Amino acid sequence: MLFKKAVKYIPASLFLSAVVLNAVAWSSTSFCDFYVTHIFPAAAETYGRFSALFPFSLGEWMLAAAFLMIALLAGGGLACLGARRLFLWYRRYLKLCGTIASVVCLVMTLNCFILYHCSPITDVYEIGEQEGRAYSLEELALLRDYVVEQANELAQQLPRDEEGYIDEAAAGDILARAKAEMSRLGETYPRLSGYYPEPKPFFSSHFFSQQYIMGYYFPFSMEANYNDTMYVVNKPTTLCHELSHLKGFIYEDEANFIGFLACVDSADPLFRYSAYLSVISYLDYDFYEATGWDAEAYRTHPSISELVRRDDIFLTPEAWEQVEETALLDTELVREVSGEIIETNLTLNGVTDGAASYGRVVGLLLTYYDGKLW
């Protein structure tokens, strides 16, 4: 009897714990820093090893199972139930929903929400020689031109197929190299050291392509997932980006920066090329904007080669055709809904500029190259 009463209050206890933890996280950066340094790694590696036992994306199938369960419970076979049986079913359904919601809230809090209130990477590690200062147009131009020149050169070195795209068959084991590069980076930034699970492809990569999602970190399963349909040049930095989330770096600009660092010093030219392509659009846009959209001034700087522009894509045209042929929903609708969800999630967690925060990687790059390029 006592056990039944205790079980009855478990959902409420879990939800209250999530509320308290969120309140503490919003008010105490030191608590979050302690959590991400001493508690989160142990939980991530323990649960991550369990999730790694499954050869598929456990998080993706957990989401699919949740949607299927809701659909079946909400609409399946209700017409054949009598009034009393329907009432009993509905009451049990609400209890089940309450339990699931409380677990979700707590897991999301522990594996995601708290991380949004940690100190930024520039406070944790020394990134450049003069962190926090303002950078001039000339310095931004130097960085932009350097990245453009490196990308233009690397684009000529990679093996390509008959269509002119980078040959993925010649790329080797990208997954193993991504883990190795992250481990190497962990020698410089200790929070990135330790165990890394194998990144897993989405089963429904076509659907994630409609959302323009390259990768995803599932807090429910502590997995790094990636879109296997996207163009191969995106994979190295995406894999390293998602793996960085498993080490507590939840901000997208920081994950972009870590993905860049992990790949830019690799011995593999594809990884180096992926690094430069992952930031070239952000740098080019910010530089052009900083000139006051002065086309004449912009043209005095190195041009992005046609080959680089051709490679700077999400999916190849052939891959897009396959996605559209198998699509159950309109891509624009899927992209719009997905964008709103991502924007809302970031904003609710204190990222006031939402999805635009991805572009803040430019500031981190300027800090990193301070003392290296000028």
Mind listing the pLDDT tens digit for each residue in 75-109? 554 555 555 566 666 677 777 777 888 888 999 99
**Residue 177 near residue 198, CB atoms below 8 Å:** no
Residue 25 has pLDDT above 60, yes or no: yes
Q: What does the alpha-carbon distance between residue 259 and residue 239 come to, in Å, rounded to a whole number?
A: 8
Give the sign of the dihedral formed by CA 68, CA 346, CA 182, CA 148: positive
Indicate the burial class of 347 (C-beta count within 10 angstroms; 0-12, 13-18, 19 or more).
Answer: middle
The alpha carbon of residue 198 and the mean position of all alpha carbons in its chain are separated, in whole angstroms, by 15
Residue 146 has pLDDT above 90, yes or no: yes
Mind listing the pLDDT tens digit for each residue in 202-250? 999 998 899 899 999 999 899 999 999 999 999 999 999 999 999 999 9
How does strand 215-218 pair with strand 223-226?
A: antiparallel
Residue 6 has pLDDT above 70, yes or no: no
Residue 137 has pLDDT above 80, yes or no: yes
Instruction: Give 257's contacts (C-beta < 8 A, 6+ positions apart).
Output: 121, 361, 364, 365, 368
Q: What percent of the chain has pLDDT over 90?
A: 68
